[in-house]
Amino acid sequence: MGWLKIGKRRGMNNSELEVAENIAESLRQEPYLLFRNDCLFKSLRFRSQCRKQGIKAHLVWCALGLTKARLPLLGEVTIPCVSHFWGEVKKQRFETSRPLGSSGILDIVPSEIKPIITVKFG
């Protein structure tokens, strides 16, 4: 009987992650607008929409991270990223700022930012 309960619990987790992914994907498809519909605002909306579905979600602020960027004259280099936001459900990161794999300023791909210092907001 114990395995049945675990199986059902896992099914719920997967279902919540699928719903969260659908929410994140719809936000990724919206145009990225700095200071109006950027990673912060989209991630706040992600958290809000997840909570409306009964999913416990967090806003994560990456205060310092490392990422690859393409700089004029230098080419691709690793640089510090001083601020980025994403959503989190069940310790899984959900990027919302841009479609997965697409790049922004300096060819930075948000999903490739490696966090060093993060703050999680419930």
Residue range 72-86, pLDDT digits in tens: 999 999 999 999 999
pTM (two decimals): 0.86
Buried b (16+ CB within 10 A) or exposed e, 49-70: bbeeeebebbbbbbeebebbbe
Neighbour tally for 15: CB within 10 Å: 11
When pLDDT is cut at 50, 70 and 90, the band that residue 12 belongs to is very low
**Over residues 11-22, mean pLDDT:** 84
For residues 39 and 59, give the distance between their C-alpha atoms in angstroms, rounded to a whole number: 10
Say if residue 13's pLDDT is above 70: no
Residue pair 91/52 in contact (Cβ under 8 Å)? The answer is no
How do residues 91-104 score in pLDDT, each as one tens digit?
Answer: 999 999 999 999 99
What is residue 14's predicted lDDT score, i.e. its pLDDT?
80
Q: What is the pLDDT of residues 29-60, one digit of tens each?
A: 999 999 999 999 999 999 999 999 999 999 99
SS3 117: strand
Average pLDDT, the chain: 90
